[in-house]
Amino acid sequence: MKNMENKPKITVILAMTADGKIADFQRNAARFGSSVDKHHLEKQISLVDGILLGASTLRAYGTTLTIKTTELLATRKQNNQPSQPINIIVSASGEIDGTLPFFSQSVPHWLITTAQGAKNKHLIFEKVLIFPEIEAGKIDLYQVFKHLKELGLNHLGILGGGELIASCLASNLIDEFWLTICPFILGGRNAPTPVEGNGLLSSQAQRLQLLKTEIIEQEIFLNYQVLKS
């Protein structure tokens, strides 16, 4: 049995439409969150040691969100944390465009990949962590998080995408969700949702406990704890 104390706290932070979509059917970058939601995201990012992004999410946005609010930066400094959390991209293939504006942002850039993915010479990462595939295109995320914990990362935030979150949820690795419900409808059978993958039967649904609800203008902010099976 895996010892879940050997991993960081994992928080998923996402905004979604009222019909549960995190992007449109073309998987374009979702920018439907308000300035309030952006500040909420920045605040949650300020609380973690590192943030994880799937490669497809990085490709869609091209950048990451950095902490700019003076008070949040001051709090991190007071807590002896660097100004920005480590940005960790998860990609088994390692096929990432090194010219993305992400690589010009003043954040630490790390990559989680496989031995094959690490052969991409164009990648511009300060640290590349290599893990074996447990099946085609799938990295053992428990071993990833265990290693990150050993490196001193005690709290991680996941900002997408749905496949990465599904893999983490399937391995019982997620501790909490922060979900912002935005007043839009996108629809589309191919539009991505917070949790992709093969899905679960209703009898196997992951149970959550609602910790906090807040309504600000037209958006609803929900904080859930994941009830461990």
Of 91, 144, 146, 88, the closest CA to residue 116 belongs to 91
Does residue 175 form part of some domain?
yes
pLDDT at 214: 97
Identify whether 55 is part of a domain: yes
Element (H, E) at 63: none
Query: Does 23 map to a domain?
Result: yes
The predicted-structure confidence for 68-86, as pLDDT tens digits, reads as follows 999 999 999 999 999 999 9
pLDDT, tens digit (0-9, with 9 covering 90-100), for 23-56 = 999 998 888 889 999 999 999 999 999 999 999 9
| 181-226 residue pLDDT tens | 999 999 999 999 999 988 888 888 999 999 999 999 999 999 999 9
| Alpha helices in 84-177, H assignment, sequence order | 141-150, 162-170
The pLDDT of residue 3 is 61
How many structural domains is the chain composed of?
1
- pLDDT-derived band of residue 122, with 50, 70 and 90 as boundaries? low
How many whole angstroms separate alpha carbon 111 and alpha carbon 195? 22
Answer yes or no: is 224 within a domain: no
Q: What is the CATH number of the domain that holds 118?
A: 3.40.430.10
Nearest to 186 by CA among 5, 14, 56, 30: 30
- Looking at the predicted structure, is the pLDDT value of residue 137 above 80? no
pLDDT of residue 16: 96
Q: Within a domain: residue 227?
A: no
Nearest Cα residue to 221 out of 194, 182, 186, 187: 182
State what percent of residues in the chain have pLDDT above 70: 97
88 in a structural domain = yes
At residue 5, the pLDDT reads 74
pLDDT at 156 over 80: yes
**pLDDT at site 41:** 96
Identify which has the larger pLDDT, 13 or 118. 13
Does residue 82 lie in a domain region?
Answer: yes
Q: Which residues pair with 225 in a beta bridge?
A: 176, 209
What mean pLDDT do residues 161-173 have? Answer: 93
| Structural domain of 17 | 4-153+162-197
Is residue 1 pLDDT above 60, yes or no?
Answer: no
Confidence at 4, pLDDT banded by 50, 70, 90 = low
Q: Is 87 part of any domain? A: yes
